[in-house]
A and B are shown apart, each in its own frame.
Chain A
Amino acid sequence: MRKDKRIPRSLIFEDHFKLSKDDLHKILSFSLSKGGDFSEIFLEYKNYNLIHMEEDIIKETAESISLGLGIRVLSGEKTGYGYTNDLSFDKIKKAALSAASITISPSQKSVCSLTSSRIKPDFYPLLSPPHNEILEKKISLVKRTYSAAQNSGAKIKKVKVSLQDQIQYLTVVNSEGLMISDVRPMIRLSCVAIAEEKDKREFGFFGGGGRVGMEYFTEELKPEEIGSKAAEEALNLLEAVEAPAGEVPVILAPGHSGVLIHEAVGHLLEADFNRKKTSIFWDKMGKRVGNPQVNIYDDPTIPHFRGSYNIDDEGTVPQKTPLIEKGVVKGLLQDRLSARLMNRPLTGHGRRQDYAHFPLPRMSNTYIDQGEYNPEEIIRSVERGFYAQKYQGGQVEDSGKFTFSVSSGYLVEEGKLTAPVKQATLIGSNIDILEKIEMVGSDLKFGLQTGTCGKEGQEAPVTDGCPTIKITKMTVGGLK
C-alpha cells in the first residue's frame, strides 16, 4: 500500500475524529458557556514504532497508537483543562464543560467562525517518511548499528540499539476562529555500548535522527557511525581518570555543551517563570547579565531538527527568538497565556507533550551563537582545567542554581587536552556563569538529535547547540 509523501491533513483528521466544523464550533461554544476569554481544542493522532535489539537479537518490536483531544479554557490567569480519548460527542462535551468550570462569569464571549489556515514553509520535507518504510529496512538500520558497535573491539561486551519513529497529526482550533494543522515526523536511532576490562565497566552513547526521512541515514549520519562512536566513548572511558574537584577554569566542548545553555539560561527565559517572577531574570529585561560575547537564540525553524515545528501546539507560526544579545536579556519564550498576560507578541513556543496536557512556554532548538575565538586558542589559554565534552543531563531551578552531569571530558594541562575524565558534576548559578564566559569560539555545533526536555512532567523533543566556550572558573565536583 503506497501513500503520498504529503498526506492530506484534513483526511486523517476526519477519519479519526469524525467531527465537522460545526461540531467543533459547538464544542468551543460549550467550553465558553460559563464565561472565559478564550477556548481551544487540540486534536491529536500519533503513531509510534519501536525496534529494540540486544544480545544479538531483535528482541522486541512495538507499535503505539494515541488518539485524543484536549480542551482548554483561559480566564484571566486561570486555565481549565479537560481531555478525553473516548471520542463520543457526549464525552467531548463533558471534557469541554470540565474545562469551562474554571470560571463563572455573566459575560459570555462568542466563538468566531472557523477558517482553515494553511502553513506556508515546511521545515521537514521528507523523501522517504519513516512511518511508511517497511519494517525490514528499519531492522537493517538497527542491525548495522549493532554490528558496528560490536566490532569495535573485544572489550565491547554489550550493545543495545533502538530505533523509534513517530508520526504526529495535530489540529488546533480556537475560539478566535483559528483552524490549523500540522503533520510532524520524527525518528531516533540510538546505541548504547558497554566496554569491560578487568573490574572496570563503562558505557558510551551515540545517536541521531530528527524530523528527517530514511535518507538521513545514508546522507547525514550512517548507522555504522552511530555504533562505532558509542563504542569509542565506552572504550575511551576505560582509560579515564577521576575528575578533579574544586573551582577550576572549564572549557565547554562544541555541540553537546549546548545542554548547559538550555538548562542554565533557556529555562529561566521561558515566559511563565518571568510572569510569575520566580525566575531570576524577571526584573532583568534589557539589562546586561553576561559577557558581550554572549548571544543566545531559540529557533524552532531550523529544517529537520528534532526541536523544530511548522506551528507550535497552540497553532502559532514560530519565530527565531533572541534571548540574550551582546550579554543583554532581549526576549522571552512565549505561549498564548503568558503573552496575553504580559502584553507581549507571540513567539510560537507553546508546546505540550500530548493532548492530555495543556501547553507551556518551552524551548525548541536553543543555542549560543558562535564568536571570534579559534577553538585551539581557547584550549591553549588554560594552564590547568577541565574540558567538559558529553553530558548525561542537567537541572536548573528558578533561582538560577544549576547542575550538569558530565559523562566524559578531559583534563586540560598546559594548554592541551590530556587524560580522559569520567563522571563529574558542574555546578553554579546562571548569572555568575554568564558573566564568567571569557571566550566564545567560532565553531558552533549542535548536539545529538536525541534530546528530550522535561518540564512540569511534560516531555518535549529539543536540540541544543554551542561553540567551544571558556568559563573562567566553575565548581567541578569529582572525587579527587
Chain B
Amino acid sequence: MKEKRPQLADLAEELIVLGKKEGADEMEVSIIDGYEFNADIRFGEIENLLEAGSRYLSIRVIKDQKTAYATSSDLSKETLEHLLRKSIQRVVLANPDEYAGLPSLSPRKIDLQSLKLHDPEILKLPSEKKIALAKETEKIALRDKRITNSHGASFETNEIKFILVNSKGFQDEYEQTICSLSLGLQAGETDNRVEDYWFSSKRHFHELDSAEEVALQAIERTVRQLNPRKIKTQKVPVVFEPLMTSWLLGFLFSCVSGISIYQKTSFLVDRLEKRIGNENITVFDDGLLPGRLGSKPFDSEGVPCQKTPVVERGILKNYLCNTYAARKLRLKSTGNAAGSSVSPHNFYLQPGNHTPEEIISSVDKGLMLIRTLGHGLNPVTGDMSRGAFGLWIEKGEIAYPVSEITISGNLGNILNKVEMVGNDLNFYTPLAGPTIKIQELTVAGQ
C-alpha cells in the first residue's frame, strides 16, 4: 500500500516562503508523486516485472521579470534549499522578459469529482490478477496459427498525484489513475514478417477492453498486412483509420500550439478567424470530458482546464496557450500549460455521419492508411512525408495490403481535402479522431 504524504504540500509551501525571503518576486512549486506497476508477458512467462514509487519536485522562480527553473528527484530539505538558492542566484543572469510571470488566480474551480480521474479499484488489484490478464491476452493470440511470434503482452497501471502551490495563493492537488493492456504480434515467415499491436488504455479498470477484444484486434491488425504488394507512384484518395487521424491531429496540435505560433515555427501563424480547412473540420480541445485520458482540473500553472474550440467548420478559432504564449500573442491562456511548454488535453476531430464501411465503399481506387513510420513532419511549412503501410482499395472494397510506400502532402492542403468524416470517434488516446477520407494524396511506391 502507498502511504499518505500530507507533508508534501507543506514542503512546497515552505520552499515558497524561503524563495520569497531570498528575493524571488514570484514562486511556483509542483510535486509529482507517482506509483507504477508493469508486467510484460512473453510466451506465457513473465518477462519483466516492475513496481516502483517515485517523486519529483519542480520550482519556477521569477525575479525582475527573469525566469529560472529547477527540478529534483532528491526531496531532502538540504538539497531543495540549496537548489532554490542557486536558482535565485542564477535568475539574475537571464534577461528580463515583460511576458514572464505566473497566471493570476482564477475564481473558476473545476469539480474534481465530475472528471472521474481516479479509480481506487486499480490500486486494489492484486499483482496476480494483473499478470493473469496479460497472460490471457497473449494466450488468445498465440492460439491463432497465423501468428508466428510475439512481442509480448503488457499490463500497466499508474497512479499519479499532482500538487501545485504558488506565491499568488494557488494551492490544489489531484490524483489520477491509468491502466493499460497491450499486445504486439508478428505474422509470416522470417523474411516476410509483418507486425502490429493493439491496446486499451483507460482511467477506470472496469472500462478496459477485455483480453479477448485486445487480442483479436492485435491479430486482425497484424495478419491483414501479410503478403503485401508494391504499387506504382500515384495520386489517389486516401482513407485514414482512426489511429491515423489521431496521428494527423498530433501534427495539427503542434501547429496550433501557442508556442509554435509566437515562435513562428508553424504554418498557421496569423490565421486566427481564417479558413484553414473545409466545412468538415471541427476540432476541440477539451480538458473536462469525464473519465478521458487527457482530462484534468487545472494545468501545470494552475489555470483551470476548459473546452476550447480550435477549428470550427474550417475556421481557425483558437491557439492553445500557456500563460506565457498567451501574453506574447495578446490572448488568454487556454489552460494547456505543461511545464514551460504546451500540451493537448482531449484534442479531437468532431465525428461526422458516415460509417467507416460507407467511407471505404465510396473509394473506387485508393489507399486505406493503417500505419506510418518515421518522422517527416515539418510544422514550419505543414509539409509531411512518411513511410506508410496500407490496404489497397478497389471498387469500394479492401483488395490487398501494400508496403514500402510513402505518403506525402501538406497539412494545409489535407485539411481542405477532407471529403468524408466517420462516426467512429473513440478516445483510444488523448488525440482522437474518427475515420476520414482525403480526396487525394501522393502515394509513392515503385
Residues on A lying within 8 angstroms of B by beta carbon are 16, 50, 54, 57-68, 77-86, 91, 95, 98-99, 101-102, 135-136, 139, 157-158, 160, 194, 196, 200-203, 243, 245-247, 276-278, 280, 282-283, 356, 358, 392-405, 407, 422-425, 427-429, 431, 475-479
Q: Is B404 an interface residue (CB 8 A)?
A: yes
Q: Is B104 an interface residue (CB 8 A)?
A: no
Q: Is B69 an interface residue (CB 8 A)?
A: yes
With beta carbons under 8 angstroms apart, the residue of A59, A67, A425 that contacts B67 is A59
Interface centre among B69, B79, B91 (most CB of A within 10 A): B69
Is A58 a contact partner of B93 (Cβ separation < 8 A)?
yes
Query: Which residues 212-242 of B sit at the A interface, judged by CB distance below 8 A?
Result: 233
State the majority secondary structure of interface residues on A. strand
Q: Give complex CA distance A424, B91 in Å.
A: 42
Q: Is B408 an interface residue (CB 8 A)?
A: yes
Report A-chain residues with C-beta under 8 Å of the C-beta of B186: 278, 398-399
A54-B263, A85-B54, A277-B149 known; A399 and B405 CB under 8 Å?
no
Is A280 a contact partner of B386 (Cβ separation < 8 A)?
no
Q: Is B442 an interface residue (CB 8 A)?
A: yes
Is B73 a contact partner of A85 (Cβ separation < 8 A)?
yes
Is B195 a contact partner of A398 (Cβ separation < 8 A)?
yes
A194-B380, A395-B373, A477-B406 known; A67 and B195 CB under 8 Å?
no
Query: Which residues 187-227 of B sit at the A interface, judged by CB distance below 8 A?
Result: 190-191, 193-195
State the majority secondary structure of interface residues on B. strand
Shortest distance in angstroms between A138's beta carbon and chain B's nearest beta carbon? 9
A61-B91, A102-B46 known; A479 and B405 CB under 8 Å?
no
Is B195 a contact partner of A82 (Cβ separation < 8 A)?
no
Is B74 a contact partner of A85 (Cβ separation < 8 A)?
yes
Is B265 a contact partner of A478 (Cβ separation < 8 A)?
no
Report B-chain residues with C-beta under 8 Å of the C-beta of A405: 374-377, 385-386
Q: Give complex CA distance A247, B194 in Å.
A: 22
A57-B97, A63-B86, A280-B190 known; A475 and B404 CB under 8 Å?
yes
Residue of B whose beta carbon sits closest to that of A475: B404
* 5 tightest A-B CB contacts, nearest first: A477-B406, A403-B387, A403-B374, A405-B376, A57-B95
Residue of B whose beta carbon sits closest to that of A234: B380
With beta carbons under 8 angstroms apart, the residue of A98, A203, A243, A429 that contacts B385 is A243
Interface centre among B52, B74, B373, B405 (most CB of A within 10 A): B52
Q: Give complex CA distance A400, B188 in Å.
A: 13
Is A201 a contact partner of B380 (Cβ separation < 8 A)?
yes
Report A-chain residues with C-beta under 8 Å of the C-beta of B380: 194, 201-203
Convert B5-42 into 0s and 1s, putting 1 for each residue whose CB lies closer than 8 angstroms to a CB of A: 00000000000000000000000000000000000001
Is B386 a contact partner of A201 (Cβ separation < 8 A)?
no
Is A78 a contact partner of B90 (Cβ separation < 8 A)?
no
Report A-chain residues with C-beta under 8 Å of the C-beta of B48: 78-81, 358
Q: Give complex CA distance A282, B189 in Å.
A: 12
Is A160 a contact partner of B263 (Cβ separation < 8 A)?
yes
Q: Is B426 an interface residue (CB 8 A)?
A: no
Is A393 a contact partner of B190 (Cβ separation < 8 A)?
no
Is B90 a contact partner of A135 (Cβ separation < 8 A)?
yes
Report A-chain residues with C-beta under 8 Å of the C-beta of B86: 63
Q: Is B409 an interface residue (CB 8 A)?
A: yes
Give me 14 other A-B pairs in contact (C-beta within 8 A), A423-B381, A425-B406, A475-B405 excluded.
A57-B97, A58-B93, A77-B42, A85-B55, A85-B75, A91-B53, A101-B49, A101-B51, A245-B442, A245-B444, A402-B373, A477-B385, A477-B387, A477-B408
Convert B378-395 into 0s and 1s, putting 1 for each residue whose CB lies closer than 8 angstroms to a CB of A: 101101111100000000
Is A64 a contact partner of B71 (Cβ separation < 8 A)?
yes
With beta carbons under 8 angstroms apart, the residue of B233, B265, B445 that contacts A194 is B265
Shortest distance in angstroms between B375's beta carbon and chain A's nearest beta carbon? 4
Convert B238-276 into 0s and 1s, putting 1 for each residue whose CB lies closer than 8 angstroms to a CB of A: 000000000000000000000000011101000000000
Q: Give complex CA distance A405, B53 in Å.
A: 38
Report B-chain residues with C-beta under 8 Å of the C-beta of A358: 48, 50
Report B-chain residues with C-beta under 8 Å of the C-beta of A398: 151, 186, 193, 195
With beta carbons under 8 angstroms apart, the residue of B73, B195, B373 that contacts A65 is B73
Shortest distance in angstroms between B182's beta carbon and chain A's nearest beta carbon? 12
Q: Is B94 an interface residue (CB 8 A)?
A: yes
Q: Give complex CA distance A245, B446 in Å.
A: 9
Is B190 a contact partner of A404 (Cβ separation < 8 A)?
no
Shortest distance in angstroms between B142's beta carbon and chain A's nearest beta carbon? 14
With beta carbons under 8 angstroms apart, the residue of B75, B90, B190, B403 that contacts A282 is B190
